Copies of this chain bind each other. A is one copy, B any other.
Amino acid sequence: MSASSSFSTAALEALETVLGPEKVLRNPGEPYDRDSSSYQAVPDCVVFPESTEDVQCVMMLANEHRFPVYPRGGGTGTSGGCIALGGGVVLSLERMNRLISIDTENLVAVVEPGVITQTVRDAAAAKGLFYPPDPAGMDASTIGGNVATNAGGPACVKYGVTRDYVLGLEAVTPTGAHIKAGVQTRKGVVGYDMAHLLCGSEGTLGIITQLTLKLIPLPAAHVGLAAVFPSMADAMRAVTAILTSGHLPSAMEFLDHKCLQLVGNELPFTVEGETAALLIVELDGVADQISREIEAVKAICTREGANRLMPGGTEEERERIWSVRRKTSTRIREHAPITISEDIAVPIGRIAPFIELVPDFEREFGLDIFCFGHAGDGNIHLIVTAPERSEKHRVDDGIRAIVQVVLEMGGTLSGEHGVGEAKKHLLPMELSPESIRLQCGIRRVFDPNGVLNPGKVFC
């Protein structure tokens, strides 16, 4: 049991009485004590609401008994956002997983928060429609969790982030009120943008109970390309040249030379040079159009110095390219006992200058740093590794120094993973005291008793 002092037997019994015992798990363990970060804590109990009313009941009891509630989707977050660090109740949305409708006339999906992201994508695709956001964990993440963290993914360069697909939502506020926010339509400007305020609030302003998502026409075809460049600077010149020549790829991913060394054996050729970088470009749209466009992209890559090209015209070739990208994280984790995953973002034009600074950080703090990520939107997954667990302080110092430089470049400390618990200590480096004061003020308006996901993000 957790050491929580704020959760009483009376509270547990009240939950069982109000919800029914089949919706309350006493003595929980895995997976409800963890997510995809390194944080772990066992909650006092887990509740499994099956309706908006159930969620309202939990929040009303939380205010009455003053116990903390931690909303949880698929548990794929990397920032510890859903961990019950103070003990209390984990509220799992896994049973609120109805896919209510894919509406081809209005081009929207109406879903409950517990639906798996890939399920939404598949259901839309089956009707010729497209839900573009594609976070890495989409086979296991829930759509509610994606919205709560405003999840990203490779498709962002063309299609934007999760928030861009949230038209409207229903939520239960921390005090147990049921609110509707946003619209069912493509547009709406009545009052403040409450739907998008909840989106990315990491489960601190409300618990989403229903979502209306924007869908768009499903692209008919895809084509890919991987290109090896002598350096990141060459690769990034190609990225800028592609984007300013009228092409808008549906993905533009990169691996730095250290990642390339780990996954190089997956490539059909040997990568030469100490500074080489891999760029993956994918286009979607009408088949004959994108097959012409990919030729133009190839020509740009060659002009900017690409010396090896890997075609991605067939499904098999595309899969081979993406498997190189996907294997990168795994290989890095096999490589070092301690790995900390950051997801900073810099303006696109600063990706190459930033990556050129990485060896300095490695030397100064005695670290191995691997960079890969989303070249088209500046979001760099930075995996900082140290050879020994005892070296954790060097990792922390190094990350702080890196974030400082990222912010000076006009960047942000998190492009898509969120703050949760993991980046809380870094947040004041990016946000001013006045901005934090206003945001804590907003949080208090929603949650006067501080019962929803307390301690996370800020306040």
Chain A interfacial positions (CB closer than 8 Å to B):
103-108, 127-129, 149-150, 152, 156-157, 160-161, 163-164, 173, 177-181, 183-194, 196-197, 199-201, 205, 216-220, 240, 243-248, 286, 289, 293, 345-350, 374, 376-379, 410-419, 423, 427, 430-432, 434-436, 438-439, 441-442, 444-446, 457-458
**Is the Cβ of A186 less than 8 Å from the Cβ of B379?**
yes
Which single member of B150, B177, B190 contacts A434 (CB below 8 Å)? Answer: B177
Instruction: Name the B residues within 8 Å of A189 (CB-CB).
Output: 149-150, 152, 200, 412, 414-419
**Is the Cβ of A105 less than 8 Å from the Cβ of B430?**
no
Instruction: Name the B residues within 8 Å of A149 (CB-CB).
Output: 189
Instruction: Name the B residues within 8 Å of A444 (CB-CB).
Output: 445
Instruction: Name the B residues within 8 Å of A441 (CB-CB).
Output: 445
A247 to B413, CA, bound (A): 37
Which single member of B180, B187, B200 contacts A377 (CB below 8 Å)? Answer: B187
A350 to B194, CA, bound (A): 24
Which single member of B105, B216, B347, B431 contacts A184 (CB below 8 Å)? Answer: B347
A105 to B187, CA, bound (A): 31
**Is the Cβ of A186 less than 8 Å from the Cβ of B286?**
no
Given contacts A107-B243, A156-B186, A186-B377, contact A435 B194 (CB under 8 A): yes
- The smallest beta-carbon distance between A407 and chain B, in angstroms, is 10
Nearest CB in chain B to that of A182: its residue: B412
Instruction: Name the B residues within 8 Å of A289 (CB-CB).
Output: 286, 289
Identical copies in the complex: 2
A230 to B186, CA, bound (A): 26
Which single member of B107, B201, B219, B347 contacts A246 (CB below 8 Å)? Answer: B219
Given contacts A107-B348, A289-B286, A438-B446, contact A413 B248 (CB under 8 A): no
Instruction: Name the B residues within 8 Å of A205 (CB-CB).
Output: 192
26 residue pairs bridging A and B, Cβ less than 8 Å apart: A103-B347, A104-B240, A106-B348, A106-B378, A160-B164, A173-B434, A179-B432, A179-B438, A185-B345, A185-B415, A186-B345, A186-B377, A186-B415, A187-B379, A187-B412, A188-B345, A189-B418, A190-B413, A191-B457, A193-B199, A217-B246, A286-B289, A286-B293, A289-B289, A442-B445, A444-B445
**Is the Cβ of A128 less than 8 Å from the Cβ of B244?**
yes
**Is the Cβ of A197 less than 8 Å from the Cβ of B193?**
yes
Instruction: Name the B residues within 8 Å of A150 (CB-CB).
Output: 189, 193
**Is the Cβ of B379 less than 8 Å from the Cβ of A185?**
yes
**Is the Cβ of A349 less than 8 Å from the Cβ of B105?**
yes
Which single member of B103, B346, B435 contacts A349 (CB below 8 Å)? Answer: B103
Instruction: Name the B residues within 8 Å of A414 (CB-CB).
Output: 188-190
- The smallest beta-carbon distance between A238 and chain B, in angstroms, is 13
Given contacts A157-B186, A419-B189, A442-B442, contact A348 B246 (CB under 8 A): no
A-B complex: 4 closest residue pairs judged by Cβ atoms = A105-B349, A186-B377, A441-B445, A184-B410
- Given A194-B439, A438-B445, 12 other A-B contacts at CB below 8 A? A106-B347, A150-B189, A173-B438, A179-B432, A183-B412, A185-B415, A191-B431, A191-B457, A192-B200, A192-B201, A196-B197, A216-B248
